[in-house]
Amino acid sequence: MTNRWTDGPGPRLRDVSEDELLAQIFPLLPRGGPVVVAPGDDTALVRTAYGSVLATTDTMVRGRDWLDEWSSPADVGGKSVAQNVADIASMGGRATALLVTLVADPETPVAWVLDFAAGLGAAAAEIEVPIAGGDLSSAPAGTLMVSITALGDVDGDPVLRSGARGGDVVAVAGTLGRSAAGFVLLQQDRADDDEDLVREHVRPRPPYEQGPVARSAGATAMIDLSDGLVRDAGRVAAASGVRLELSTELLRADLDRLTGVLDDDAALGCVLTGGEEHSLLACFPPEVALPDGWRRIGQVGAGEGVTVDGRPRSGGGWDHFHP
């Protein structure tokens, strides 16, 4: 028996990019009302009777987002907090509560779940974010998936992806390329070559506090770098209707950190297209002095897309359905 939904002709998810898929999904969904910032940014902003709340969700799946050989359950818990709270930070906000969903094969050891909860709890406690609840659900053999929904507060207007203007400075808070370099070492069975890089991959430490700092300093646009510098810079460029012009000379310190561990091409690939670091990229008006913790990596110009050293650059970076 064939099923017309699952066995029929037509494009598969692997045939479209994530951004193309979302562009087809969004028109099917109702908008407006209390949802002040709609799907398309790092978080939504929803008006409430008392004010407003930032809301976002992010999922990790065993085999796609982590391998059990590389990541302890506590690492998975810590990383799932990081990727969600970084989205709140990238709006200029602070996380206020998390909801945690676990979908697991009944054969999953209880010990896995408890170590995951301990790692998640420790990461949340470190930034003083309480867990508000969650959900448990069973799954077919081998499946293990965790999903967090994060809520947050922002003082005043959030920083969107869409506010960058020609002449702005493009800046980054946090490191670039290290998580991806750690991922390469794990894949090549060379984890001992640089344990710090491997740790950045399994336990990223985003500069959460720099989100509100950038907002207060007047950032015009911001995003957390989950899918790679060029891909995520391209999202700011597209949302703002501008071009982000990056310079490898300004990325020298990031590249130098990887020298001796990876060859020059691989290091450049990690810095420009490596994901999962959850550092913050923001644009600032030219007259603003960059706050401590931020460094210039380029500028905003007229046009579209992203250039690196003056040449248009696209592709690369992470897309869930084209890993």
Ligand X SMILES: Cc1ncc(C[n+]2csc(CCOP(=O)(O)OP(=O)(O)O)c2C)c(N)n1
Are 169 and 286 spatial neighbours (Cβ–Cβ below 8 Å)? Answer: yes
Tell me which stretch binds ligand X (CB under 6 A): 62-70, 129-137, 205-213, 247-255. Answer: 62-70
Map the footprint of ligand X across residues 40-59, applying CB under 6 A. Answer: 58
Q: Between residues 168 and 224, which has the closer beta carbon with respect to Mg ion?
A: 224
Residue 319 within binding range of ligand X, rule CB under 6 A: no
Contact between residue 81 and residue 130 where contact means Cβ atoms under 8 Å apart: no
Q: Which is nearer to Mg ion, 53 or 86 (CB)?
A: 86
Binding residues for ATP: 134-135, 161, 226
Q: Would you say 98 and 132 are in contact if contact means Cβ atoms under 8 Å apart?
A: yes
**Which residue from 65, 87, 245, 277 is in contact with ligand ADP, where contact means CB under 6 A?**
87
Q: Which residues are annotated as a binding site?
A: 42, 56-58, 65, 87, 134-135, 161, 224, 226-227, 276, 318
Would you say the C-alpha torsion 194, 195, 200, 202 has a positive or negative sign?
positive
Phi/psi of residue 103, nearest 5 degrees: -120, 115
For ligand ADP, give the closer residue by CB, 58 or 168. 58
Sheet holding 243-246, edge to edge: 221-224, 280-284, 169-173, 294-301, 243-246, 306-308, 311-313
Choices 63-71, 88-96, 265-273, 287-295; region in contact with ligand X by CB under 6 A: 63-71
Query: Residue from 71, 80, 149, 226 that binds ligand ADP (CB under 6 A)?
Result: 226
- The yes or no reply on residue 277 touching Mg ion (CB under 5 A) is no
- Put residue 82 in one of left, alpha, beta given phi > 0 → left and psi -120 to 50 → alpha: alpha
Interaction of residue 319 with Mg ion, rule CB under 5 A:
no
CB of 250 to ligand X, least distance (A): 23
List phi, psi (to 5°) of 89.
-60, -35
| Count of residues near ligand ADP by CB under 6 A | 9
Site for ligand X in 73-112 (CB under 6 A): 83
Using the rule CB under 6 A, which residue among 119, 204, 275, 298 binds ligand X? 275
Name the DSSP class of 317.
S
What is the C-alpha to C-alpha distance for residues 65 and 76, in angstroms, rounded to an integer?
A: 9
**Structure-token pair, residue 294:** 């931020």
Q: Is 41 in the site for ligand ADP (CB under 6 A)?
A: yes
Tell me if 254 contacts Mg ion by CB under 5 A: no
Query: What is the number of the residue whose Cβ is closest to ligand X?
Result: 275
- Which residues, including other chains, have CB under 8 Å from residue 132's CB and lie 6 or more apart? 97, 98, 99, 151
What whole-number distance in Å separates Cα of residue 17 and Cα of residue 31? Answer: 23
Q: Which is nearer to ligand X, 83 or 108 (CB)?
A: 83
| Minimum CB–partner distance for residue 80 and ligand X (Å) | 9
Neighbours of 303 (CB within 10 A): 14
Residue 311 bridge partners (DSSP)? 308
Distances (CA, A) of 127 to 85, 97, 98, 202: 10, 11, 12, 18
> For binding to Mg ion (CB under 5 A), which residues are involved?
42, 87, 224, 226
Q: Give contact residues for ligand ADP (rule: CB under 6 A).
A: 22, 25, 39-42, 58, 87, 226
Residues near ligand X (CB under 6 A) are 58, 64-67, 83, 226-227, 275-276, 318, 323
